[in-house]
């Protein structure tokens, strides 16, 4: 599994900063620290191991979390179902250790 947090966190922070600028354009101020209104993190390892890829619920940025064995099965399933989806392409690039 990928576990190279020191290289991933700056990329994730850059994605969140871009999303933050987008939210500012929509009138949501950074001083509103409610996670429902403003991106939180970045958290190491995308917030931790999960049964599916994690995305920010506001800006939909992929959080680059590690996966359980159920999560690996979930990703395999969706890549087979929607191989041309931008989201599944992003998952496939990130989870390059999975044998599709």
pLDDT in tens, 16-46: 555 666 667 777 665 555 555 555 555 666 6
Q: Backbone phi, then psi, for 25, in 5-degree steps?
A: -60, -30
Does residue 100 sit within a domain? no
Structure confidence at residue 73 (pLDDT):
96
Query: Three-state SS for 38?
Result: coil
Residue 56: give the domain boundaries. 5-94
Does residue 62 sit within a domain? yes
Does residue 35 sit within a domain? yes
> Quick one: which H or E segment has residue 73?
helix 69-81
Give the single-character DSSP code of 48. Answer: S
What's the rounded Cα separation, in Å, for the pair 85 and 88?
Answer: 5
How many structural domains are present in the chain? 1
Alpha-carbon Rg for the chain, nearest whole angstrom, is 14
pTM: 0.58
pLDDT in tens, 41-73: 556 666 778 999 988 877 788 888 889 999 999
Does residue 99 sit within a domain? no
């Amino acid at each position: 599994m990928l576990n190279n947090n020191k290289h991933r966190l700056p990329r994730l922070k850059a994605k969140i900063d871009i999303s933050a600028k987008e939210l500012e354009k929509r009138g949501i101020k950074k001083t509103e620290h409610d996670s429902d209104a403003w991106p939180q993190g970045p958290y190491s390892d995308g917030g931790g191991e999960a049964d599916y890829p994690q995305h920010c619920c506001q800006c939909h940025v992929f959080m680059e979390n590690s996966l359980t064995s159920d999560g690996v099965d979930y990703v395999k399933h969706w890549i087979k179902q929607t191989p041309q989806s931008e989201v599944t392409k992003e998952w496939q690039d990130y989870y390059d250790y999975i044998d599709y």
